Amino acid sequence: MFKKLIAESMTKSPWIYHVNTGSCNGCDIELVACLTPRYDVERYGFKLAGTPRHADIVVVSGPITSQSKDRLIRTLEQVPNPHCVVTIGSCPQSGNVFKGSYSVEAPLEKFCEVDVAIAGCTPKPEAIIEGLYKAAQILKKKREAMQ
């Protein structure tokens, strides 16, 4: 019974830890917009966590600058399993307009497995919410796979 309950809860209370790896702040603002009364992702149980130890979903924005790469990887290591990695915007997916720069390490797939990639520059809050929702479903599958 508890196994099912826990697996079900995985989809209903994903806590988000947000890492900005040199983003222009556009995606970050849109992520914050999701928390505001108009979109209110808290109705799905989403919440911003203050430390990666509490997180279920790590949201990465920005083109992974060389300076932030080690710090990002270290942070991702510290998230307890099961967890998902979600990228917002085109930067962590492809590098966007920064592609080819000596100081940019995108895409994120080089360093870790990305579960959901939300495209756009910047993606709409609706898109972000859908992406996060999908990530929550993946979380449940990962939990079941852990058994």
Partner 1 sequence: MIQFYEHFPVISVMGLFLAAFLVEIFGNKNKTIRYGISLIACLAAAAMTLYLIIPVFRDGKIISYWMGGWAPEGGYAFGIGYEIDGLGLFFGILTSITFLMSVIFSKRYMERDAHLGHYYTLFLMLAGSVLGLVFTGDVFNLFIMIEIMTFAAVALTAFRHGKHPEALEGAFKYLVLGSIGSSLTLLGVALLYLSTHTLNMAQISALLSSQGFKPTTLFAFAMMLSGLAVKSFVVPFHTPAADAYATAPASVSTLFSGMVNKAGIYGMIRLTYILFRVMDRESVMLLLALIGALTMFVGVTMALAQHDFKRLLAFHSISQIGYVLMSVGLGSVLGLYGGLFHALNHTLFKGLLFLTAGAVYYATGTTNLDKLGGLAKRMPATTACFLVGAFAISGIPPFNGFASKWLIYQAAYEKAVQSGNFVYVIITITALLVSVMTLASFIKVTSAAFLGQQPASLKEVKEVPFSMQLPMFIMSALCLICGLLYRPVLTYLVGPAVSAAMDPSAYIDTMMGSGYAITHGVLPSSMGFAMISAWDPRFWLLLFIIVTCAVTLVAVSDARTRGPVSLPQPGETDAKHATFFGGEKSTHSHVSGSDLFWGFKKDLKGYFHVIGDLHSGRTNDYALWVVLGVTVIMLFTFIFLS
Partner 2 sequence: MPEFVSNLLNILLVALHVLVFPGLLFAAVGGLLLAGIDRKVLARMQRRVGPPIVQPFYDFFKLMGKETIIPAAARPGIYQAAPIIGMVSLSLMMLFFPIFGHSAAFATKADLIVILYLLTIPAVALIIGGSASGSPFAGVGISREMVVMLGYELPLVMVLLTVAKKVGGDTMTFALEDIAVWQLANGSLLFHWSMIPAAIAFLLIIPAEVGTQPFDVAEAETEICEGPLIEYSGAPLAIFKLNTAMKMFVMTALFQVLFLGGIDLGKYWLLGGAVLFVISAVLTVLCMTFIHAITARLKVEHLFKFYWTVVAGLALVSLVLVWFGL
Please give the residue ranges that form the binding site for partner 1 (CB under 8 A).
Answer: 2-3, 6, 19, 51-53, 68, 70-75, 77-78, 80-81, 146-147
Buried b (16+ CB within 10 A) or exposed e, 52-69: beebbbbbbbbbbbeebb
* Residues with Cβ within 8 Å of residue 143, at least 6 apart in sequence: 6, 7, 10, 82
Q: How far is the CB of 18 from partner 1 (least distance, A)?
A: 12
Residue 37: other Cβ atoms inside 10 A: 6
The residue type at 1: M
42 binds, among partner 2, partner 1, none (CB under 5 to 8 A by kind): partner 2
Q: Name the residue nearer to partner 1 (CB basis): 5 or 38.
A: 5
Residues within the interface to partner 2 (CB under 8 A): 2, 5-10, 12-14, 37, 40, 42-45, 48-51, 53-54, 56, 78, 80-82, 143
Q: Name the residue nearer to partner 1 (CB basis): 49 or 127.
A: 49
Q: How far is the CB of 15 from partner 2 (least distance, A)?
A: 8
Tokens of 147: 């058994």
